[in-house]
Amino acid sequence: MKSWSCIEKCGACCKFNLNERTDLANKLNSQDIALIESMTCDDGWCKNMDRKNKQCLIYENRPHFCRVNEFSMQFKDYLKFGDKFLIDCCKQHISSNYGNKSIEMKNFKIATTKK
């Protein structure tokens, strides 16, 4: 089975619209939502994302919802499907932000392919 892995110089998960993520309603409290809103620029990208280098500027101190390994435990599909769920989520984010044929997608597929 393939294993999920976060790749460097991606950051696709650092851009999303809370209004499109109804699956998060019961996983985030009002403080989380307020924090996300305060971290989100007008174009949807996190203000803590170094866009040139595609790196998080607060990585060591990022909020719990930015910690994929921890936050994913709240999703029943993760509990049921494990890394396949995370891989599918990442592919969706990468595709929507950079494109299906992007270098980010290529690097992600390489990182998650079992050798």
pLDDT profile of the chain (115 residues), mean per 10:
86 89 85 95 96 95 92 90 92 95 95 77
The structure's pTM equals: 0.86
Give the three-state DSSP class for 40. Answer: strand
**pLDDT on residue 20:** 83
Q: How far apart are CA 3 and CA 16, in angstroms?
A: 24
Phi-psi region of 48 (alpha: psi -120 to 50; beta: other; left: phi over 0): alpha
Q: How far apart are CA 115 and CA 100, in angstroms?
A: 22
Name 56's bridge partners.
Answer: 49
- For the chain, the structural domain boundaries read 12-111
Query: For residues 60 and 54, is the Cβ–Cβ distance under 8 A?
Result: no
**pLDDT on residue 97:** 94
**pLDDT on residue 99:** 97
**pLDDT on residue 115:** 54
CA 23 to chain centre: 14
Query: For residues 96 and 11, is the Cβ–Cβ distance under 8 A?
Result: no
* Percentage of the chain modeled with pLDDT above 70: 97
